[in-house]
Amino acid sequence: MPVDLQALYPKLIHLMLDTVFVVDPDNTIVFVSAACEALLGYRADELTGTPITRYMHPDDLEATRASIVRVMNGTPHFDFRNRYVRKDGGVVHILWAAFWSDEVGARIGVARNVTALTQAEDELRFLAHHDPLTKLNNRSLFNERLASALHAAERDQQRLALLFLDINDFKGINDGHGHAAGDQVLCMIARRLERCVGATDTVARMGGDEFIVLLTDVASEDAVLAKVEQIARVMAEPLDADFGPIKLPSCSIGVACYPTDGKDADTLLSHADGDMYRRKKHRALARQQAQSAQAPLWSDPCDASPVLTG
């Protein structure tokens, strides 16, 4: 017995997991398959006879209208993405394959929900340039920002500065309270550092318990020292009760200023790193001397405030 394909096609369309739209030249939906309810939350009878532009995300209207013109001019589109607003107010990301049919006198589009895929792609792009724990910029993005900042500083005859920050005795937190607690402290430090910088500055985690701050368009080296002191004060703020018995360690901050301490990225990074380790060494030596003599610890404003030293 021969199969009646003409009778079968409508049933096949409604079985599709992707949604089929047929839209007339005036952007009115004349047909939509049953999958539309899973995609947009509307039944087919709610969508039929309404303008498809009503459901498009406002920020994507311009690009979508350009795609519509392209399709209606005879160029099929198989990889167009945009966002639609669901009946419940949520946003869905859609991948479209669409073409204009002269026989039908309408454009036909197949819509696939790619919200999960888009979110995964966004997450991968974020992780390519950010530290997964603290959400700060990572070394790769920091290096890009530094290169761009150096170019601008040379062009505009401006100053910039690098602050290389290391948490003293951080290993004690991991050993005494566990790595989860250590991670919590690192995230707190990241948020505090972000509070201390401007919109054009950059904070990055270089790895472990090391952070770096790029200060752009610095007025003077005195302004850099003032920023170091501000960071020290913010870092000295008591921890929330959520941290329990954990005490925030002190930090050592190395400083490098452009152009005084170097005019290229490698020289500035090396200078800031070396300055930081010099301060750590001085701190350790002063701690030993203080313990021996039971005298106050040596303090350096670029190492930490007296409150931070511990």
Q: List, by residue number, the catalytic residues.
A: 209
Picking from 153, 155, 160, 303, the residue whose alpha carbon sits closest to that of residue 224 is 160
Q: What is the DSSP letter of 203?
A: E
Residue 155 β-bridge partners = none
Residue with tokens 């005795």: 169
Report CA-CA distances (Å) from 2 to 8, 11, 23, 195. 12, 17, 32, 74
* Distance from the Cα of residue 164 to its chain's centroid: 22
d(CA 285, CA 304): 15
Asked if 211 and 205 count as a contact pair (C-beta separation under 8 A), the reply is: yes
Asked if 123 and 42 count as a contact pair (C-beta separation under 8 A), the reply is: no
- Burial of residue 240 (number of CB atoms within 10 Å: 0-12, 13-18, 19+): exposed
Tell me which amino acid residue 37 is: E
